[in-house]
Amino acid sequence: MKIMTYYDDDAKNYGEYERFVIKVNNKIILSAGHGEPEDNSLGRDLNFVFSIPEWMKMAYEAGKNGEDFNIIESEEDFDV
């Protein structure tokens, strides 16, 4: 299982559009923090939390199958 993370502090805009992105096996599964502050609720921009149990199961199954678990912090934006 290959996990890549990307963090943008958006310093040029004083953190207004700060965000964190996680990509698992070359697929973006989480992109949080960008957008309007009023949209940061479980029903809108933070609805990814409902997928956390599924992601935990994926990691468990990968470990059970002997897959490597690698986390790579990317310097490049891959939220496309």
Residue-level pLDDT, tens digit, the chain, 80 residues: 888 888 887 777 666 677 888 888 888 888 887 667 777 777 777 888 888 889 889 999 999 999 988 888 887 776 54
- Cα distance between residue 18 and residue 68, in whole Å: 30
Predicted model pTM:
0.65
- Sign of the torsion angle spanned by Cα atoms 41, 43, 44, 47: positive
Residue 68 inside a domain? The answer is yes
For 48, the domain range is 2-74
Q: From CA 35, how far away is CA 42, in angstroms rounded?
A: 14
**How many domains does the chain divide into?**
1
Judge whether 80 lies within some domain.
Answer: no
Whether 79 is in a domain gets the answer: no
Angle, CA 9 vertex, CA 6 and CA 15 arms, to 5°: 145
